[in-house]
Amino acid sequence: SQKIEQNSEALNIQEGKTATLTCNYTNYSPAYLQWYRQDPGRGPVFLLLIRENEKEKRKERLKVTFDTTLKQSLFHITASQPADSATYLCALDIGGGTYKYIFGTGTRLKVLA
């Protein structure tokens, strides 16, 4: 069956540390994988996209890796801040580039001051 799993429903880390979130999937060969941030009561907001032929993508304090052999993406936030506290969702294009994006259940990150 179609499945996207994100590690631990909730993750607490200390301010200044690196947060690492995991997205694992089965039965797909996605052309693109995206990461979104969602704050309570708001819609998800796009953060990063990585293509199937890319290993790593960076944007400021964010880094995403994509291992199509392991069927896994890692999302890192370096020098984490309390303002980074939110739910983070990964999304896969399962339509071969047709924008049919399905989402993981998300990881709720809390950065402690």
Partner 1 sequence: DAGVIQSPRHEVTEMGQEVTLRCKPISGHDYLFWYRQTMMRGLELLIYFNNNVPIDDSGMPEDRFSAKMPNASFSTLKIQPSEPRDSAVYFCASTRGLDTGELFFGEGSRLTVL
Residues 6+ apart with CB under 8 A from 3: 25, 26, 27
Helix %, strand %, coil % for the chain, to 5? 5, 55, 40
Cα 16 to chain centroid, rounded: 19
- Least separation, in Å, of the C-beta of 108 and partner 1? 11
32 binds partner 1 (CB under 8 A): yes
Nearest to 4 by CA among 74, 113, 76, 105: 105
69 binds partner 1 (CB under 8 A): no
11 binds partner 1 (CB under 8 A): no
100 binds partner 1 (CB under 8 A): yes
103 binds partner 1 (CB under 8 A): yes
Among 74, 89, 109, 111, binds partner 1 (CB under 8 A): 89
Is 103 within 8 Å of 23 (Cβ atoms)? no
- Least separation, in Å, of the C-beta of 19 and partner 1? 20
- Give the binding site for partner 1 (CB under 8 A): 32, 34, 36, 41-46, 49, 51, 89, 91, 93, 95, 98-106
